[in-house]
Amino acid sequence: MCLSMPARIVSIDGDIAQVSIGGAIFSAGLQMVENAKPGDYVLLHAGFAIQILSEEEADETLKILRELDESE
């Protein structure tokens, strides 16, 4: 199963962003999205941002993932 996670861009250096997921920081390639900026939410998959999300979309997805985790 493949899973993409919403992540918030903390900083950008060239085409690599530092993104935060639950307080953990990861590197993410930005080659597949245009006009991403710090503060934006992106869908992170296999180390690459594949889509820019609204904050509402990111929050809803994270809420669903937390609920799934709590149901186990």
- Residue-wise pLDDT tens digits, 1-31: 578 899 999 999 999 999 999 899 999 999 9
Q: Residue 55: CB partners within 8 Å, gap ≥ 6?
A: 41
Q: Which domain holds residue 10?
A: 5-70
To the nearest whole percent, how much of the chain has pLDDT over 70?
97
Rounded to an integer, the average pLDDT of 68-72 is 81
Nearest Cα to 49, choosing from 68, 12, 22, 63?
12
Q: What's the mean pLDDT in 34-59?
A: 96
Q: Residue 45 belongs to a domain with what CATH number?
A: 2.30.30.140
Query: Quick one: pLDDT at residue 66?
Result: 87
Per-residue pLDDT, 69: 82
Among residues 47, 61, 59, which one has the least CA distance to residue 19?
47
Count of domains forming the chain: 1
pLDDT of residue 1: 56
CB 32 within 8 A of CB 50: yes
